A and B are shown apart, each in its own frame.
Chain A
Amino acid sequence: MATYARPVERLISELSKLPSIGPRSAQRIAFHIVRGRKEDALGLAEALREVKERIKPCRRCFNLTEQEECDICRDPRRDASVICAVEDPYDIGPIERTGEYRGLYHVLGGALSPLDGIEPEDLHIAELIERVKREGTKEIVIATNPNTTGEATALYIAQEVEGLPVRVTALASGLPVGGDLEYADEVTLGRAFAGRREI
């Protein structure tokens, strides 16, 4: 049962696959695009295409990059002895903005969750441990989300590197429990960084 012309229906259906966009928002956005200027819509299409063609995971830290290695990994001023492990690439932005952290990152690609069938093998945990051994990392700061799955992931990593000469710390509490790093404000996140603790 199509209410609108097929291309419009298709756009709505593609948009509603996006996270936090329900059918009503999808419809609103679709009509915004239909009504808007052609250049804007093609600009969006081009941006989508470019991102899929040019962006790939950094071979060292799995952050997103156009190069083989991301800007942060290639920056000689960063402290390469510290790695901050985050769940997703978009967790890096908020941490960078605190100005508290000068080390490198490692994007895990999610968090352990039996309910979602996510096992250690589905995350870049083995690569993290490899890196720690290869790069002689002195500290891993685990900055997974302060919720059930994020904290379990942090504990698991700590268990896995036991015996290696690396210190494992986690962000200090103060972050809202059950929350997402993405939404934490800079002050809270900055303070959490400054007060990170061993786990």
Chain B
Amino acid sequence: MAYIRALRLVNFRNYADATVVLAPGLNIVVGDNAQGKTNLLEGISFAVTGSTPRTPNDSETVRWGQDFTRAEMRVALQDAGDERRVAIGYAPGQKKRLTVDGAPVRSLADYAAGGAGVRTVTFFPDDIRIVKGAPSERREFIDVLLSSLRPSYARTVAEYAKVVQQRNQLLRRIRDGLSSPKTLSTWDRKVIELGKTVLAGRAAAIEPLGAFLESSVRALYGPEKAALRYSYSAPLENYAEALREAHSADIERGTTSVGPHRDDFEVLLGGVNLTTYGSQGQQRLATLALKFAAREYIRQQTGEDPILLFDDVMSELDEHRRGYLAGYFLESTQSVISTTNLEYFEDEVRRQARIIRIASGSVFEEANSNASQ
């Protein structure tokens, strides 16, 4: 199984120039508050996917006072001995420069879908918004997951968004008397063609994801049955009809009211919708379980175990669940877990892990820590 051997971050967040060597299995990133633990996990994700999962605004990752950021990574591939070197350079306002083994990569979508030789599943504390927040958060979760598996899905989602934008502008122009409605059916056809592909992708994923969620919740939380339920703004079989029926209302509002950009999925526990009724703790555990489900889904689809980047996940959990998670991470191909408190991991777990200490943007590896390969 593929894993990351080493990562170098230059001008990334609070790292001026830092190299971290990673081991297969569990890597624990430990440090006080505001030293750079979250930034390190974000940096790994940036190198693997070509963009940051934390913000839509990549320029925030450039170290203050600098005009570019750069990440380099060595990945050990499945065939023992084989290695891939990737690099990504980014200056705000310019196209990202990606290379794999020195050769430039043209498409960010291709790169994000496993171009680095590994995939990641990330957990950041504010990911709770996936369960707690607006439908757009859940749509983004599933779209990012599917895009990491198939670049064609990523392109379809992007094209779909563009076509909806064009259609919305046309609706406003028709409303304001600037356009005739005669091209509306043309844009409808484009919207439907792309929208159906998005819907088909999501529909195929939601069932296996729900099943993986159910078993993750059982392990993490208890015997209550968890499930996912996709809610369509327009049922797939009469999508075209629904879009046509919405014409006059859409023209009045100047937006497209049906389609995958208006859909949602419910996260259910014991039949109860956690977005509406879940406690804070239930929402957090469901978020974690969704991430575990994403890992299983990637494994099922690719046969490869993604790298787990989980930020500050232990602090919110009781001892029993911390023990379960430690075991889960130890058995993974590779996981990088941050914490302020090493005590959250039992001695036995720590002995098997590689410990990486972080202090004000510098990396200190423990001498006695599990040697890397």
**Which A residues fall within an 8 A CB radius of B?**
112-115, 117, 119-120, 147-149, 151-152, 155-156, 159, 177-178
- Across the interface, do B159 and A148 meet the contact criterion of CB distance under 8 Å? yes
- Across the interface, do A178 and B190 meet the contact criterion of CB distance under 8 Å? no
**Nearest Cβ on chain A to B195's Cβ, whole angstroms:** 13
- Across the interface, do B162 and A156 meet the contact criterion of CB distance under 8 Å? no
- Across the interface, do B179 and A115 meet the contact criterion of CB distance under 8 Å? no
Chain B residues near A117: list those with CB within 8 A: 173, 178
- Across the interface, do A115 and B185 meet the contact criterion of CB distance under 8 Å? no
- Across the interface, do B185 and A159 meet the contact criterion of CB distance under 8 Å? yes
Q: Interface size class for chain B?
A: 20 to 34
Total A-B contacts with CB atoms under 8 angstroms apart:
47
Per the bound structure, the CA–CA distance linking A119 and B190 in Å amounts to 16
Per the bound structure, the CA–CA distance linking A171 and B125 in Å amounts to 48
Known A112-B183, A159-B186; judge A177-B155 contact (CB<8 A).
yes
In the assembled complex, B362 has its CB within 8 A of some CB on chain A: no
- Across the interface, do B167 and A155 meet the contact criterion of CB distance under 8 Å? no
Chain B residues near A177: list those with CB within 8 A: 155, 159
Secondary structure type dominating chain A contacts: helix
Residue in B158, B159, B169 whose beta carbon sits within 8 Å of that of A114 in the complex: B169
Chain A residues near B326: list those with CB within 8 A: none
In the assembled complex, B189 has its CB within 8 A of some CB on chain A: yes
Chain A residues near B159: list those with CB within 8 A: 147-148, 177-178
- Across the interface, do B178 and A156 meet the contact criterion of CB distance under 8 Å? no
- Across the interface, do A120 and B190 meet the contact criterion of CB distance under 8 Å? no
In the assembled complex, B187 has its CB within 8 A of some CB on chain A: yes
Known A114-B170, A149-B166, A152-B163; judge A178-B186 contact (CB<8 A).
no
- Across the interface, do B166 and A152 meet the contact criterion of CB distance under 8 Å? yes
- Across the interface, do A155 and B166 meet the contact criterion of CB distance under 8 Å? no
Known A114-B173, A178-B158, A178-B159; judge A148-B166 contact (CB<8 A).
yes
Given contacts A117-B173, A178-B159, 12 further A-B contacts (CB under 8 A): A112-B183, A114-B173, A114-B179, A115-B169, A120-B182, A148-B162, A148-B163, A152-B163, A152-B187, A156-B183, A156-B186, A159-B185
- Across the interface, do A155 and B190 meet the contact criterion of CB distance under 8 Å? yes
Chain B residues near A112: list those with CB within 8 A: 183, 186
In the assembled complex, B165 has its CB within 8 A of some CB on chain A: yes
Chain A residues near B183: list those with CB within 8 A: 112, 114, 119-120, 152, 156
